[in-house]
Every structure is written in C-alpha cells, then in structure tokens.
C-alpha cells in the first residue's frame, strides 16, 4: 500500500513548484486578461473618485502675539514668569482652536450652535505656527472661497473677543463679582475674628500675650529675688543669734560714791576762802589739809569699787538683738512676698496657658483674614486693570494683533490626482492577482502527467548512477520522504 505525496494531485500527477520566473511567465500569458480587468476596474472607480473629490479653497489669517508686561491690554494666555515662549504660543494656539470659540462664532452669526455645523467647522478649521516665530496662522477649507475667508475672519473675531473676556474677567463684570465675593469673605473672616476675641475677653491678642509673658517673667524674677532675700535674712538672723549667745545681756554701767563730791566741795570752799582770806589764814590752811588728805585717799585707791553700783542692758547685745529681730522681720516679709508672688505667678501662668491654647485658633482666623484681604486687594487691582483693558477695542491695541485678514483665495487644492493614482494602483493589483490565479489554473489543467517507472524493470544494479534499493519486509511499507522545497529552477539536461 502506497500513499500519495503531499505535492501530488489525486490523479497521480506531481505538482510542479512555481518560482518568480513562472509567475512572470504566467502574467505575460495572461496580459490581455490583466489589461482588460484593469480597465474594467479603473475606469468606473477613477470616475467615481474624480467626481466625489471636489477642489477646496484654503483661506488664512495671520495673527501676531505681543508679550509686553507694561501693556494694559489683555496679556498672552499663560504669560508669566513660569512660562516659556513656546508654552505661551501653544496656549494661544489651543485657545484659538478651541470648540468654545467656534461655538461663540456660530451663536453670534446664527443665534445657535448646531452640532453638525460645529463638526464641519472643526474639520475644516486649523491653526499652525512657524517655529521660533510669534505668528499664528488660522486657516479654513471650503469649496467656496468667499465662505472660507468669511469663516476664518469670523472665528478670529470671536477668538479676540473671547480671550479678552477670558483674561480680563468678562465684559459683564465677572472680575467685579469675584471682587465682591472676596470682600464679603474678608469681612466675614474679620467678624469671626472679632467674635473670637470678644468671646475670650481679649482686646489685642498679640499685645496681651506678650504682656502676659512679660508679667510672668517679671513675677518669676521677683519671686526668686524674694526667696533669696528671705534666705539671706534668715541666715543673718541665725548668725546674730549665735553671736548673742556669747554676749551678756546686762552689764554694770557705773559705781557712784561721795569721795569725788566731797573733794569737789572742798575745792569750791577753798576757792571761796581764798577770796576772803589770806593764803596763810587758818581756815584756808584747814581746808587745804582736808583736800590733801582726801586726794591721798583717792590716790591710794581705797575709794575704787566703793559706793553705789548701777547695772543695765548691754548696748552691744541690745544692738545685735535689734539687728537679729530686724533680719527675722525681713525674712518673714520676704517669705510673705514670695508667697504672694507665687500666687500671682500661678495666675499669670494660667493666663499664659489660656492664651496659648487660643493661639492656634487666633492664628487660623488671622491667616484667613490676611489671605482673604490679600485676595481682595489683588482682585481690586485686577478689576482696575480689567476696566482699563475693556475700554480698548479688541484687536486694535491688544496683545494679539491681526497682521493680515483672510481674503478669498484664488487657487484651489484638490486630491483628485492622488485618488486617481491610488485607484490605478488598486485596479492593477487586483487584475494582476486575478490573472495569476487564472494562468495557474490553466497551466495545471493542461500539464501532462509524468510516467512512473515500471515495477517489472527496476533499475539495474550494474548502472553506475543507480541508487541502492533498501530492502524491506513483506508487510513493512517503504518509508515516505517529504518533498524537498524548490529553491531555484534547475535544468533537466545533464
């Protein structure tokens, strides 16, 4: 039992592999068929493409972007310290090509924005710009040149009005509305701050907080000073008390006797007698002898320690005791002052803690007041600037200047040639494919079947080029070999 090879037909004929030369030969044999099919496909398709593609006119308008920080007219979109030139130009191009501009143009012209008209405007309108240039080129394509020019001019005018409204807050006072809202917010923030201060019995939070902190620091210093003075007074009182222990409390003040008095009396009497008598008078001599005897008594010391004694408080002890009592009094006074300062210190610390607990809310309300006031100030400046800008005609002294308005173009552009060429290529390709298929079918149908070698006449074993025949069993079929791919045409001649 034998099987048919994969490159053989059902009737036993072997299919011949085709290469590029065969394909060219088949195409050449079918040249008339290919030309006929090409003409049958090309003519109707080319006519249809030519009729369906109508020429369009492209009208354009050129705009110049001027970036001047001193100009009061509406600045370029996205202008500022954080934006570069290309970003500003791209912002203006996107704004010009936005659907909002086309919608506003349709509303201004027709009173409504039809979706189909918006779609057609979006398909025909385009914005381009030259590299490293401040020019924007707006174009519109339409079969009618007048319609194309008028549409471009209308879109540019709508763009100029819209950008002024967008950058300055609008002709209807949009910036003023934001300014009013910002002022209301600022007033509300100020009222909230005043209510917070009144609720917590505070007149000026910063002043009261600084005053409370200063008072707290002063009380702390005074308390430390009072404690130090009290400790010093107590130490001095203890030192005086220790010194008083070694000093007697009372001492002998003086001793009174009549010896000195009698001596003085005798001397007085002698002076009286001398005034009346001569020095050698007996009364004078008698008084003189008494005086001399009394003086010898005193000189001998027999009168010392004799007489009336008088004692009293020791003045040194009394002075030291007075100093001790004064230091104890000072210590007690400083202690009472320290206690009073300690109470005041607790009150001051409680006040400082209360103010610090309220500080976060106060700072939050203060930040709100500052931020909203700053926003209101900024919007006030913008409102004045917008008022000055709105008084200028758009496009006249604007940051966007119209260099050239669109005029009806004279020359139209069309894609008919490209469409006809594409149709020709398509028709030729389809005709070539059909011709190759037809030629291949015809060649296979008329190709004669090759004669297979007879099994009764096997190749002789004595032929030099005969391949050895492998031996197989009776029931074992010979193995089938896969056909080798044909890489090139090989001649059959030896």
| DSSP single-letter state for residue 203 | S
| Residue that wins the pLDDT comparison between 169 and 92 | 92
Mean pLDDT for 219-234 is 89
- Lowest-confidence pick of 52-61, 101-110, 204-213, 256-265: 256-265
Among 46-50, 53-57, 242-246, 316-320, the range scoring the smallest mean pLDDT is 53-57
Under CATH, which number does the domain 57-178+378-404 receive? 3.30.70.1130
How far lies 77's CA from each of 9, 66, 167, 269, 441, in Å?
A: 76, 11, 8, 135, 69
pLDDT greater at residue 301 or residue 51: 51
**What is residue 256's predicted lDDT score, i.e. its pLDDT?**
53
Highest mean pLDDT among 280-284, 296-300, 357-361: 357-361
Mean pLDDT in residue range 279-306: 75
Most confident of 66-70, 334-338, 392-396, 456-460: 334-338
The string of pLDDT tens digits covering residues 119-151 is 888 888 889 887 777 888 889 888 888 888 899
Confidence of residue 390 (pLDDT cuts 50, 70, 90): low
The most confident of the ranges 273-282, 304-313, 382-391, 458-467 is: 273-282
Note the Cα 241 to chain centre separation in Å: 74
And the tokens for 165?
Answer: 């409204």
Taking alpha carbons only, the member of 43, 176, 164 closest to residue 104 is 164
Domain regions of the chain by residue span = 1-53+415-448+481-494, 57-178+378-404, 223-350
pLDDT at 468: 45
Angle 174-199/315-390 helices, nearest 10 degrees?
Answer: 160
Q: What percent of the chain has pLDDT over 70?
A: 72
Give yes or no for residue 342 having a pLDDT over 50. yes
Q: What is the pLDDT of residues 424-461, one digit of tens each?
A: 888 888 888 888 888 878 776 655 555 544 444 444 44
pLDDT band at 254 (very low <50, low <70, confident <90, very high): low
Q: In the prediction, which pLDDT does 296 show? A: 79
pTM of the prediction? 0.40
Helix (H) or strand (E) holding 216: helix 205-244
Residue-level pLDDT at 311: 66
Answer whether residue 10 shows pLDDT above 60: no
Instruction: Round to whole Å and give the CA distance between 79 and 65.
Output: 11
Q: Which pLDDT score is estimated for 472?
A: 41
pLDDT at 31: 84
Q: Cα(397)–Cα(326) distance, rounded to whole angstroms?
A: 93
Unique residue bearing structure tokens 């001596």: 263
Average pLDDT estimate for 94-111: 87
Return the higher-pLDDT residue of 325 and 18. 325
Q: How far is CA 407 from CA 45, 140, 150, 457, in A?
A: 36, 11, 8, 94
pLDDT greater than 50 at residue 171: no
Q: Which one has a higher pLDDT value, 189 or 423?
A: 189
Closest CA to 303 of 258, 343, 338: 258
Mean pLDDT across the chain? 75
Instruction: Give the residue, 100 or 178, on which the prediction is more confident.
Output: 100
Closest by CA to 57, choosing from 123, 141, 152, is: 141
Q: Both tokens of residue 187?
A: 């007033």
pLDDT of residue 388: 64
pLDDT at res. 489: 44
List beta partners, residue 313.
Answer: 250
Would the pLDDT of 358 be above 70? Answer: yes
* DSSP-derived secondary structure for 53-117: ---BEEEEEEEEE---TT--SPPPTT-STT--HHHHHHHHHHHHT-HHHHHHHHHHHHSS--HHH
| Cα gap 295→291, rounded to integer Å | 6
Going by pLDDT thresholds of 50, 70 and 90, the confidence category of residue 474 is very low
pLDDT of residue 457: 47
Residue 19: the pLDDT is 74
Structure tokens at 318: 């009394």
């Amino acid at each position: 039992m034998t099987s048919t090879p994969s490159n053989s037909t059902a009737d036993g004929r072997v299919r011949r592999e085709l290469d590029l030369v065969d394909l060219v030969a088949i195409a050449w044999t079918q040249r008339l068929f290919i030309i006929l099919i090409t003409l049958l496909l090309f003519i109707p398709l080319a006519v249809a493409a030519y009729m369906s593609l109508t020429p369009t006119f492209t009208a354009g308008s050129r705009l110049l972007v001027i970036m001047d920080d001193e100009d009061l007219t509406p600045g370029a979109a996205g202008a500022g310290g954080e934006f570069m030139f290309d970003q500003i130009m791209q912002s203006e191009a996107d704004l010009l090509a936005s659907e909002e501009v086309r919608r506003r143009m349709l509303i201004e012209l027709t009173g409504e924005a039809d979706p189909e008209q918006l779609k057609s405007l979006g398909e025909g309108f385009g914005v381009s710009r030259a590299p490293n240039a401040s020019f924007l080129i707006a174009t519109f394509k339409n079969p009618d040149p007048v319609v194309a020019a008028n549409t471009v001019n209308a879109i540019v005018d709508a763009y100029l009005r819209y950008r002024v409204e967008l950058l300055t807050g609008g002709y209807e006072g949009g910036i003023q509305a934001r300014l009013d809202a910002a002022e209301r917010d600022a007033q509300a923030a100020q009222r909230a701050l005043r209510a917070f201060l009144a609720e917590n019995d505070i007149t000026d939070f910063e002043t009261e907080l600084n005053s409370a902190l200063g008072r707290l620091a002063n009380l702390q210093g005074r308390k430390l000073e009072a404690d130090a003075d009290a400790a010093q007074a107590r130490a001095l009182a203890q030192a005086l008390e220790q010194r008083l222990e070694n000093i007697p409390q009372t001492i002998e003040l003086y001793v009174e006797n009549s010896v000195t008095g009698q001596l003085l009396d005798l001397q007085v009497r002698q002076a009286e007698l001398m005034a009346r008598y001569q020095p050698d008078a007996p009364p004078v001599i008698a008084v003189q002898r008494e005086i001399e005897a009394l003086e010898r008594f005193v000189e001998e010391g027999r009168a010392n320690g004799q007489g009336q004694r008088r004692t009293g408080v020791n003045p040194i002890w009394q002075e030291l005791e007075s100093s001790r009592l004064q230091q104890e009094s000072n210590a007690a006074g400083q202690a009472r002052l320290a206690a009073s300062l300690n109470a005041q210190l607790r009150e001051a610390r409680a006040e400082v803690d209360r103010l610090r607990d309220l500080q976060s809310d106060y700072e939050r309300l203060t930040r709100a007041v500052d931020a909203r006031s700053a926003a209101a100030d900024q919007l006030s400046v913008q409102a004045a600037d917008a008022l000055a800008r709105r008084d200028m005609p758009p496009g006249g002294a604007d940051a966007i200047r119209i260099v050239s308005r669109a005029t009806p173009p004279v020359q139209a552009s069309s894609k008919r040639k490209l469409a006809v060429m594409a149709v020709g290529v398509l028709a030729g390709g389809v005709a070539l494919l059909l011709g190759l298929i037809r030629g291949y079918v015809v060649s296979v149908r008329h190709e004669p079947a090759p004669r297979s070698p007879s099994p009764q006449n096997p190749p002789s074993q004595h032929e030099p080029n005969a391949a050895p025949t492998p031996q197989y069993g009776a029931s074992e079929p010979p193995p089938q070999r896969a056909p080798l791919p044909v890489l090139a045409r090989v001649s059959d001649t030896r």
